[in-house]
Structure 1
């Protein structure tokens, strides 16, 4: 239950960080700090820096941090780069291990946030973030051990953190993974840069709530400050406009999106594909 609650809070923090909730940027910033750092234990400053780069150039090699993952290889260079024997073996079988690896995403998000707030470099409200994250990470862990026996407390934290990371991972993974990668030298106009590298997930309003509106990734990238409830209404308008201007607009079901993602990263790990091509285009032309 806490894994679901914390993920839904993270979705609200994502909304605030994109200026979707309040007119005031200051109000949005403070709500993001409270939701992200204090309630989730994830650095807003770290997320903002990383996510801004992603939105500016989604799926662009050397620019988008979301395709530079420590274990999963999303590019040919990452797959062929020298690594330890364990990492090399994992990447050769990364399609099989993709979903289990997501269980570690919660640990990764917390660790990345902690590194960001204690390292050098500019960070607005550093001490606020340090204070909020300390209360969340230390206080929550202490509370768990106060009310549960040590063995059950360890299991509780492992399950909660694992499911939180898994839920976050399966919500974000379908949006861009398996879509075309942009070579460093390629220049695209804003519309094509945002639409062709993103994928929408078709579904009901229940899916909208479960994925925090991230299933409308194309509209979100085109209009990042558009409030989440309006994305569903904007989607058919954007789809029609893209059709009129011959811009590929990708929308699939949830399970289909996972099949594309797993198939894509598996082929990259095995070195069997040109990662600059779109898997949907390949399927349609087959």
Structure 2
């Protein structure tokens, strides 16, 4: 075979991604959208304040479970806000993005901004890449048949039935994020362990203090289970459709940036409600290609990207929300087959 051009290899000034980036810039889709984020964050903040006020007014009542459900949605939206701040979609400068991220993630959500930022950056660099993407590490769930064959401990036990256990496990995701945040405070990669530790302690001091001072112990525990369970389920329902069931990249595979991001990501079709529910992450392909692109620009970017991928013959995956979950569950069942076979 002859030498491939820079456009074919995806490297150099004439790379495929450079051309797509130029089209996005020409369309003005990389500009900040301060009005959008002002309205969105204000709405989330007012809903949070209203939920806290309702909690204090209702007192020791089982009606508080409705507040717990609403707060689960609010916490999910706070997680999406922290995500956008981390990617500098809101502010172009690093310092205001970090301050906003610490306030939203650590203070309001009870999750370490620094720990999550490090983890999520590695995911963006190598999505679905075994050994490099922390989101497909076989901690509890196995994501490939190779991981299943090597699985030990909880992953080996859970992996046999992980498709059926996936959504029940998601109810623990909120607690897992907080536990991992405290655990990460001892990591050398943490830039501000003392500050983040203090903010996390303050968050849970107010959270548990409020629960057990307003509610009886039994109601407080039920509130905790409902709130954290629905919160974890919400987060999982937003993040799972984006990559689960898409191709896994094995060690040694060479892909340029454009193809690495497009081939491992999936968009979720839907209307305005889907956009709000998923915070724009339903345009996962465009988000991975342009992480700092503001959320309201992603819909227009999707049209440009899909058309451009068609020009290059690059597969572009779009599906509905329920179909994306079915695909993810089929993938989990398929990759767990070696464990079930070994058990038989």
TM-score (norm 1): 0.92
Alignment CA distance shift 1:254-1:138 (3 Å): same
Q: Distance in 1 between matches of 2:277 and 2:187?
A: 36
Retained in 1: the 8 A contact 2:142–2:151?
A: no
Superposed displacement of residue 61, structure 1 = 1.0
Q: Distance in 2 between matches of 1:223 and 1:44?
A: 21
Q: Distance in 2 between matches of 1:18 and 1:7?
A: 17
State yes or no: 1:131 paired with 2:198.
Answer: yes
Structure 2: state its 5+ residue gaps.
Answer: 1-69, 340-344
State yes or no: 1:21 paired with 2:85.
Answer: no
**Aligned residue pair count:** 270
Q: Distance in 1 between matches of 2:95 and 2:152?
A: 44
Alignment CA distance shift 1:196-1:154 (3 Å): same
Q: Secondary structure at the match of 2:89?
A: coil
Structure 1: state its 5+ residue gaps.
Answer: 273-286
Alignment CA distance shift 1:87-1:192 (3 Å): closer
From 164, 169, 174, the equivalent of 2:231 is: 164
Superposed displacement of residue 187, structure 1 = 1.3
Q: Distance in 2 between matches of 1:122 and 1:57?
A: 19
Q: Distance in 1 between matches of 2:138 and 2:116?
A: 15
Aligned to 1:108: 176
Q: Distance in 1 between matches of 2:181 and 2:218?
A: 27
Q: Secondary structure at the match of 1:271?
A: helix
Q: Distance in 2 between matches of 1:204 and 1:271?
A: 39
Superposed displacement of residue 186, structure 1 = 0.8
Q: Distance in 1 between matches of 2:294 and 2:222?
A: 37
Q: Which moved more, 1:99-108 or 1:192-201?
A: 99-108
State yes or no: 1:199 paired with 2:289.
Answer: no
In the TM superposition, what whole-angstrom CA distance separates every residue of 1:86-130 from its partner, at most 9, and x where no partner exists?
65342111111111111111111111111112x130322222211
From 156, 161, 186, the equivalent of 1:88 is: 156
Alignment CA distance shift 1:140-1:215 (3 Å): same
Q: Distance in 1 between matches of 2:128 and 2:329?
A: 17
Aligned to 2:57: none
Aligned to 2:78: 9
Aligned-pair Cα RMSD in Å: 1.3
Superposed displacement of residue 72, structure 1 = 1.2
Q: Secondary structure at the match of 2:158?
A: helix
Max radius of gyration: which structure? 2
Superposed displacement of residue 81, structure 1 = 2.2
Q: Distance in 2 between matches of 1:155 and 1:251?
A: 38
Aligned to 2:36: none
Q: Distance in 2 between matches of 1:255 and 1:173?
A: 11
From 330, 333, 338, the equivalent of 1:266 is: 333
